[in-house]
Chains A and B, each alone.
Chain A
């Protein structure tokens, strides 16, 4: 069936042009100065130096990581019980709830984020309801709370689906074995279900953390113009100030940070010390 092999050739060429070359361009721009045209390449680390020495940029980076971590933690804390409850329902009910949770993800993220703008206003529906109870108004729009809420709303379905898949794929006989060996339901959960569902949580973390760190429209819509995360900096460098070299350097730094955190997360999961002999 060698004649079929050639069918992959067009895409391999395409892939080289559309995926590899742009990546190389980012590298090229990141390591060269502004102003020199591509023909006279002069290697430089100045962009990185500027980024890492500027306290403003550093506080933006810190805030981005902070917001992303908070978002990820909240997604785990709420996503896990939701996935667990759904996974333990009847087959029909499972399908219904999974469809219910996937449905919004098919709707434009921007549209869904835009919806929260109205809800979180000072005179919005939440504050109106709080008003009935005699509380507030609580200022929510254009705060970190609003940004985290928007991110959780957009990204938690990924977490739920990953954990859910992990839980339903788990062989039910493991639980029967635990019960057979004397574990009650709480013990079975802590010693069998939870450890076996960690891989699902890890891939959920990847799917939440990655877009959360690099997001720029959620902070813009829900955080307001003054609320700047690393994604907004990149957007500005490319579309407003036009400093592609500096923008590329920031993107590269961000990508490296993301890859590094993914590597750490996966490493923790696979660490033999974590699943070796518990009592030695």
Chain B
């Protein structure tokens, strides 16, 4: 009896959790196909909001900026973050400690504080707000996550691995590229993945450092949401679709590879 009750409780709880998490998402998707302007009443299926979205150049521009910034920020922060993590793993303890502390600041600080700090920094330098400031800011908040996801892999590495490679005649670059990087690849990949989604989804920091018409999707949704505009639903649906697809691919590829691999052996 006791056990049955508990099982029932856990099922109900999980069911409600799923409803809570997914109803808003389904709601957006549903209303993106609404034929009327209403956000509350579904009056029939139509694609007019999608047509509107594709015709709206600011919307399309924001999608382009979001994707380009996310890709660039991911590539640059992954390379820089990985090199830094490797460099730090061979550095003195004090140096490592200081860098790790400072590196954690953007993660521990409220995003709004990071945002205004960068805003004042760029203005002090006299850099015009726009694409460059947005990209620099994104690289800045992505690198700490890359370092955080690569460092544990480096720590679990046999410290003699690089020395062994050098002993066997590899140059430092070869040791790095052929021995260390393959070992920490999972950390690098997950770091890149985190960096991409952080950049793709960022709103707060972007909001403070951008300007002159350079907007990403988040900023666009924020500024447009003051008035009812169902094209936002269409845009949101597009974002949901893209992210789900990306996650699906990232999660499915290793499984498929593994299956193929196991068939071969």
A and B touch in the complex (CB under 8 A): yes
The chain A residues found within 8 Å of chain B, CB to CB, are 1-12, 14-15, 17-23, 25-26, 29, 38, 81-82, 85-86, 88-89, 97, 99-101, 103-104, 106-112, 114-119, 121, 123-125, 128, 153, 157, 210-211, 213-214, 216-217, 220-221, 231, 234-235, 238-239, 244, 247-248, 251, 254-255, 258
- Can you offer 26 A-B residue contacts whose CB atoms are under 8 A? A1-B90, A4-B90, A8-B86, A8-B99, A11-B84, A20-B102, A82-B17, A100-B18, A107-B244, A108-B200, A108-B201, A111-B217, A111-B236, A112-B25, A115-B24, A118-B39, A118-B40, A123-B41, A125-B40, A153-B24, A157-B21, A216-B112, A217-B222, A248-B120, A251-B110, A258-B110
Q: How far is the CA of A82 from the CA of B236 in the complex (A)?
A: 28
User: From residue B127, how far is it (CB to closest CB) to chain A in Å?
Assistant: 12
Q: Does the CB pair A235–B112 fall under 8 Å?
A: yes
- In the complex, which of the residues B31, B109, B124, B232 has the most CB atoms of chain A within 10 Å of its own CB atom? B109
Q: Which residues of A contact B130 (CB under 8 A)?
A: none
How many chain B residues have a CB neighbour from A under 8 Å?
75
Q: How far is the CA of A213 from the CA of B110 in the complex (A)?
A: 9
Task: Kindly supply a per-residue 1/0 record for chain B positions 105-124, scoring 1 wherever the CB is within 8 Å of any chain A CB and 0 otherwise.
Answer: 11011111110111111001
Q: Does the CB pair A82–B14 fall under 8 Å?
A: yes
Q: Does the CB pair B112–A214 fall under 8 Å?
A: yes
Q: How far is the CA of A82 from the CA of B106 in the complex (A)?
A: 30
Q: Does the CB pair A234–B102 fall under 8 Å?
A: no
Q: Residue A22 contacts which of B9, B121, B221, B244 (CB distance < 8 angstroms)?
A: B121
Q: Does the CB pair A110–B203 fall under 8 Å?
A: yes
* B13: Cβ under 8 A from any A Cβ: yes
Least CB separation from B161: chain A residue: A1
User: From residue B205, how far is it (CB to closest CB) to chain A in Å?
Assistant: 11
* B46: Cβ under 8 A from any A Cβ: no
Q: Does the CB pair A25–B117 fall under 8 Å?
A: yes
Q: How far is the CA of A29 from the CA of B119 in the complex (A)?
A: 12
Q: A124-B40, A238-B208 are in contact. Are A26 and B116 (CB under 8 A)?
A: yes
* B252: Cβ under 8 A from any A Cβ: no
Q: Which residues of A contact B172 (CB under 8 A)?
A: 1, 3-4
Q: Which residues of B contact A115 (CB under 8 A)?
A: 24-25, 27-28, 236
Least CB separation from B163: chain A residue: A1
Least CB separation from A104: chain B residue: B21
In order of increasing CB-CB distance, the 10 nearest A-B pairs are A22-B117, A8-B87, A7-B87, A214-B110, A115-B24, A118-B39, A11-B84, A85-B10, A111-B236, A22-B121
Q: Which residues of B contact A89 (CB under 8 A)?
A: 10
Q: Which residues of A contact B166 (CB under 8 A)?
A: 1
Task: Kindly supply a per-residue 1/0 record for chain B positions 187-221, scoring 1 wherever the CB is within 8 Å of any chain A CB and 0 otherwise.
Answer: 00000000001001101100010000000011001
Q: A20-B102, A214-B111 are in contact. Are A125 and B27 (CB under 8 A)?
A: yes
Q: Does the CB pair B87–A15 fall under 8 Å?
A: no
Q: How far is the CA of A15 from the CA of B141 in the complex (A)?
A: 10
User: From residue B73, how far is it (CB to closest CB) to chain A in Å?
Assistant: 13
Q: Which residues of A contact B222 (CB under 8 A)?
A: 110, 217, 220-221
Q: How far is the CA of A10 from the CA of B147 in the complex (A)?
A: 14
* B225: Cβ under 8 A from any A Cβ: yes
User: From residue B115, how far is it (CB to closest CB) to chain A in Å?
Assistant: 8
Q: Which residues of B contact A88 (CB under 8 A)?
A: 10
Least CB separation from B232: chain A residue: A114
